Amino acid sequence: MSLTRRQREILEFLRQFLRKHGYAPSLLEIGRAFSLSSSATIHKHLCALEARGAIRRSRGRRRYMELVDSPSSGRLVDLPLLGSVPAGKPLEALEVEERISVPEFLVSGTRAYVLRVRGDSMREEQIRDGDYVVVEDRPVPENGETVVALLHGEEVTLKKFHRERGKVRLSPANPAYEPMVLPAKEVRIQGIVRGLLRRY
């Protein structure tokens, strides 16, 4: 697979963005990263990456993209599947004895696990009911990261995290749901979402 320097830079940007967010960047976000104002130029680079087998896209699905790793970089890691996490109303998560294989680049050397998503409150982040999220075991998130949060010591939910003057706001990505604002001491972060897996 022969790529130009700019194509390699864009491919690495896509890899980092997918690792952080779990979905593909828009043309505007790619343009900002490389100071490119022409969406046609960005589209041309993406088409070149696709033609060379570096990425795979779906024309009918917004923000969908897969990186096609070379055989040497396509290693898998077995992670524990620790039941389900609600992306809707908080419910208790259930641990089960299962494991699931995920691409190694989603783990990046840290402790991690997988949860199955239940509900649709994160659908505008492209996280759907039945998806699997790869969760990094990290207790201190940055504002705006998608987290698995333990509420009141007993309920678990999947939401966007924001700090607000001694409180925590957990925001859905679906206008049908309201944000939850709780005292910081009542929220314990169990991990940060690093990737998304979907079975068809």
The catalytic residues are 121, 159
Residue 101 CA to residue 72 CA, distance in Å, equals 17
Q: Which amino acid is residue 44, in one-letter code? A: K
3-state secondary structure of 84: strand
Inter-axis angle of helices 39-51 and 5-21, nearest 10: 90
Q: Which residues of 36-46 are buried (b: 16+ CB within 10 A; e: fewer)?
A: beeeeebeebb
CB 103 within 8 A of CB 118: no
CB 173 within 8 A of CB 127: yes
CA dihedral over 163, 184, 173, 55, signed as positive or negative: positive
CB atoms within 10 A of CB 97: 7
CB 19 within 8 A of CB 11: no
